[in-house]
Structure 1
Amino acid sequence: MVNKLLVWILTIILLFLGQGKINAATLSELEQQKKQIEEERFKIKTELKRENRAELVIKNSKLVVKENAYKNAIKYLTGDIKEINSEYSAYKMMNINPGEIPEPFIPIYQAAAERYGVDWTVLAAIHSIETRFSTINRMISSVGAIGHMQFMPATFVAYGIDGNGDGKISPWSLEDAIYSAANYLAANNYSQDKRKAIWHYNHADWYVNDVLATAAAFSIKNN
């Protein structure tokens, strides 16, 4: 149930975060959506004495989850996301060739890879495939993955690492995201079966193949 709620929350954030611009109209629309849900729940409560009681109870439960998602989205949007905006605004303006690794990123990949025993070119490949080296206009996917390395929030909570030593752990911090990706691969037995570890990152064989092929190309160009 918690995972479903997280998906709802991130889906709502995706819909309303956009380019990172927050305004009164956005919050007003969220409030209207929340109010509409509250009205729907009130109607359900008045109908519970009629037939299909079980069906109405299920519908009400789903609306509770959705209502909580809107509440959390509003709470998130009214918080301070200045750091999030500034973190990726610089990267998205970079003129990057997808076939080349940006030089400033290489030491970060290498340091994270050395700490967790993974290949730094695999980290670079994941970064390239997931967010084109942090240059996509928004770093929230349609399924709710967030940040430079596209973690689902619940996964990042479990595997997030303070890569830059600032005392905070954030998927919006480049160093944190890369170190967290290395930690996640290592935790999924990368040293024993790198294909399976990468598959855990995105459950698709084509994804594993793309990551390994991209990593191999990066390795040739950077050796």
Structure 2
Amino acid sequence: MRKRLLIPVLCSFLFVLQNPIAKAEELDLPTLQNEQKEVKKQLKEAIAKQDDLSKKEQKELVKLNQRYSSIVAKRKALEKAESFLNGEETKEETKKRFSDTIQNWSKVVVPFRSVPVEYKPIYVAAGERYGVDWKVLAAIHSIETSFSNISTMVSSVGAIGHMQFMPATFKAYGVDGNGDGQISPWNIEDAIYSAANYLAANNFKNDQRKAIWHYNHADWYVNDVLETAASFIK
């Protein structure tokens, strides 16, 4: 079944590579840039008053962050396409980049527990920056919010965001993971990088169990995180 589905997808993918001009004409970089500025402004205003948001408004903030991430991804893709069209990247370089991407698809397939493909690069990058095992970050994300799939991402005790930080803890250890000048527990990159920063600050390098325990003061939680992390492919 997967093979039958993969063939037309790859054919479409190759068609895009052979017809970059046709695809680029369907997109408008200035419009995307303006939309990104507007959404970023809305995010800044919402984040400034996030402590006073209702659960419905917090849910809308999550959606707004997801929209912002989508816009940024589209803008970067279009910039890459324009770079190719302007001769800044050769056809051979483009083919090699996409070939390497296809060859690496198998590395993100998890045999036991599933890690969303879109999040793995963030776990890995954050882990490398702070010296934390990316699988532990993925495990915490899975346990805390089912990979950001719970409705409001606000717990009964007041933990918030993708990685469920208490507001005071996030204020102390939150970092700007995506370089947009904002630090928010509702932004997926900020949340994951902040979790890595928090674990590193609690001596993850020398005592993983104790660092994870600081995330949630319970031995069963530490065991759950480590068991879940162990189930992920390297």
Give TM class, smaller chain. Answer: 0.5 to 0.7
What TM-score results when the alignment is normalised by the length of structure 1?
0.59
Q: Tell me how far 1:152 sits from its aligned partner.
A: 0.2
Report 1:55-94 matches (<5 A).
83-87=61-65
Identity within the alignment, %: 66
**Partner of 1:138 in structure 2?**
152
**Partner of 2:184 in structure 1?**
170
Structure 2, unaligned runs of 5 or more: 1-49, 70-111
Equivalent residue for 1:17, pick from 49, 55, 65 = 55
Q: Tell me how far 1:17 sits from its aligned partner.
A: 1.5
The one-character-per-residue Cα deviations of 1:167-219 (angstroms, maximum 9, x if unpaired) are 0000000000000000000000001100000000000000000000000001x
| Conserved 8 A contact 1:88-1:172 | no
Partner SS state of residue 127, structure 1: helix
Give the aligned length: 144
Report 1:178-197 matches (<5 A).
178-197=192-211
Structure 1, unaligned runs of 5 or more: 1-8, 22-81, 92-97
Moved over 6 A (4+): none
Distance between the aligned counterparts of 1:19 and 1:103, measured in 2? 28
Equivalent residue for 1:126, pick from 111, 135, 140 = 140
| Conserved 8 A contact 1:88-1:135 | no
Relative distance call for 1:114 and 1:196 in structure 2 (3 A) is: same
Distance between the aligned counterparts of 1:90 and 1:128, measured in 2? 22
Distance between the aligned counterparts of 1:99 and 1:18, measured in 2? 30
Partner SS state of residue 119, structure 2: helix
Distance between the aligned counterparts of 2:61 and 2:56, measured in 1? 16
Distance between the aligned counterparts of 2:56 and 2:170, measured in 1? 21
Q: Tell me how far 1:147 sits from its aligned partner.
A: 0.2
Equivalent residue for 2:230, pick from 211, 216, 222 = 216
Amino acid at match of 1:193: D
Partner SS state of residue 169, structure 1: coil
Amino acid at match of 1:85: K
Distance between the aligned counterparts of 1:130 and 1:155, measured in 2? 16
Distance between the aligned counterparts of 1:210 and 1:189, measured in 2? 19
Q: Tell me how far 1:112 sits from its aligned partner.
A: 0.3
**Partner of 2:81 in structure 1?**
none
| Conserved 8 A contact 1:139-1:148 | yes
The one-character-per-residue Cα deviations of 1:19-56 (angstroms, maximum 9, x if unpaired) are 747xxxxxxxxxxxxxxxxxxxxxxxxxxxxxxxxxxx
Q: Tell me how far 1:115 sits from its aligned partner.
A: 0.4
Distance between the aligned counterparts of 1:199 and 1:84, measured in 2? 27
What TM-score results when the alignment is normalised by the length of structure 2?
0.57
Amino acid at match of 2:139: A
2:213 is the alignment partner of 1:206:
no
